[in-house]
């Protein structure tokens, strides 16, 4: 009886103390998360069961990314090492290359903001899996969208189109990028492709946000043209949308894709809630940075 009661009390106490210890420890160190930082050492220690260990490290990488993303962290320093270990343990884990490159290349707080690490990761994936054309697609995407290098991106799409089984639009993309087609249209085409080809809800959500951001960028551009036209005609910037509606330049107050009215601040069109539109490049309040890297002219 006494032993039973003591058992229950001590178990409950151990949970409470354990929670306090976790709280005191705070963020885990690099050594704690990785256990062993050398990918080759991990592979040797796996005793041949490297497939399962790769799955564990991949899950760890996903959990790490998820928790950092949730905290809106600007520091994802463990992401590249975790992906390195994952792909060393299982070089054929295509998922790690595909999604890992997205996690690495997007700018903080949406990702690690390290497109060069993403290029290295996908490059390794291509060497280990030469028959997988989708990796060329991801490489081309990084060069085009994150590194703003349409020439190299076009070469990637072209190389990928030559892999047996590649879908026909890879050649289309190679041609469009080579000719420097309108970037918004190409981006919309790519993200729509991703949205339609994946069943993973997180990747779909990311693609939807990208498409919404593209729409917002276009609307801000058009609205800003109207505002500039108003200023040219009246000699001063409009102070509100009502002024422009009364002038017959707009029919109603413009609403952004997430349902908030666009704002007019000192003659500039801005979005009301930039935190709900993480990938826009236009309409940002002064001082707020875009999470998509600026164009390199």
Q: Could you list the residues that contact other proteins (CB under 8 A)?
A: 44, 47-52, 54-55, 58-59, 62-63, 90, 92-93, 95, 98-99, 200, 202-203
CA–CA dist 110, 205 (Å, integer): 12
Closer by beta carbon to other proteins, 99 or else 191: 99
Closer by beta carbon to other proteins, 97 or else 144: 97
| Tokens read off for 21 | 């210890």
Compute the least distance from the CB of residue 31 to other proteins, in Å: 22
Phi-psi region of 180 (alpha: psi -120 to 50; beta: other; left: phi over 0): left
Closer by beta carbon to other proteins, 50 or else 105: 50
Closer by beta carbon to other proteins, 62 or else 207: 62
**3-class secondary structure, 20:** helix
Compute the least distance from the CB of residue 99 to other proteins, in Å: 5
Q: Using the 8-state DSSP alphabet, how is residue 9 labeled? A: H
Q: Outline where the chain has alpha helix (H).
A: 2-25, 30-34, 39-45, 50-70, 79-89, 94-105, 115-128, 133-141, 150-161, 169-178, 183-197, 201-234, 241-246
CA–CA dist 225, 75 (Å, integer): 37
Compute the least distance from the CB of residue 265 to other proteins, in Å: 39
Compute the least distance from the CB of residue 95 to other proteins, in Å: 4
Compute the least distance from the CB of residue 183 to other proteins, in Å: 28
Residue showing tokens 């085009």: 144
Within 10 A of 33 (CB to CB), how many other CB atoms are there? 16
Closer by beta carbon to other proteins, 163 or else 293: 163
């Amino acid at each position: 009886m006494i032993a039973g009661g003591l058992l229950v009390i001590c178990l409950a106490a151990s949970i409470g103390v354990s929670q306090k210890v976790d709280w005191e420890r705070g963020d885990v160190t690099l050594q704690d998360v990785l256990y062993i930082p050398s990918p080759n050492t991990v592979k040797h220690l796996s005793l041949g069961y490297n497939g399962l260990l790769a799955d564990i490290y991949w899950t760890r990488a996903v959990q790490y990314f998820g928790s950092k993303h949730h905290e809106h962290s600007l520091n994802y320093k463990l992401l590249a090492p975790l992906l390195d270990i994952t792909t060393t343990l299982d070089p054929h884990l295509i998922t790690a290359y595909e999604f890992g490159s997205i996690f690495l290349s997007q700018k903080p707080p949406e990702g690690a903001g390290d497109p060069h690490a993403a290029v290295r990761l996908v490059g390794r994936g291509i060497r280990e899996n030469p028959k997988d054309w989708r990796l060329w697609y991801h490489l081309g995407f990084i060069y085009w969208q994150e590194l703003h290098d349409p020439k190299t991106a076009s070469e990637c799409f072209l190389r990928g189109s030559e892999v047996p089984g590649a879908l026909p639009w890879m050649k289309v993309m190679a041609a469009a990028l080579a000719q420097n087609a309108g970037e918004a249209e190409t981006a919309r085409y790519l993200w729509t492709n991703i949205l339609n080809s994946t069943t993973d809800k997180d990747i779909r959500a990311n693609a939807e946000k990208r498409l919404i951001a593209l729409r917002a960028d276009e609307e801000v551009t058009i609205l800003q043209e109207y505002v500039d036209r108003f200023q040219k005609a009246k000699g001063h910037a409009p102070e509100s949308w009502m002024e422009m509606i009364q002038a017959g330049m707009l029919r109603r107050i413009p609403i952004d894709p997430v349902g908030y009215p666009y704002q007019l601040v000192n003659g500039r069109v801005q979005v009301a809630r930039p935190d709900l539109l993480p990938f826009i490049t236009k309409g940002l309040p002064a001082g707020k940075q875009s999470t998509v890297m600026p164009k390199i002219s």
